[in-house]
Amino acid sequence: MFLPAGEKQFEFWVLRRNGLPNINIAKRFGVSRQAVSRALLSMDKRIEETLLEMASANRIEVEKLDSKKGILFGKSVPFKANAIIFVSAKHGMQVWYEHEGECGSCERYRECIELLWDFAEEMQLKLQSTEDPTKIADELFEKLKESIE
Residue 24 placed within a domain: yes
pLDDT digits (tens, 9 = 90+) for 38-78: 999 999 999 999 999 999 999 999 999 999 999 999 999 99
Residue 2 placed within a domain: no
Q: Which band of pLDDT confidence, cut at 50, 70 and 90, is reported for residue 110?
A: very high
Residue 121 placed within a domain: yes
Q: Give the pLDDT confidence score for residue 148 in this predicted structure.
A: 85
Residues sharing a CB contact under 8 Å with residue 9, sequence separation 6 or more, in sequence order: 39, 40, 42, 43, 46
Domain count, the chain: 1
Residue 1 placed within a domain: no
Residue 3 placed within a domain: no
Domain hosting 76: range is 8-148
The DSSP-derived string for 86-115 is EEETTTEEEEEE-----GGG-TTHHHHHHH
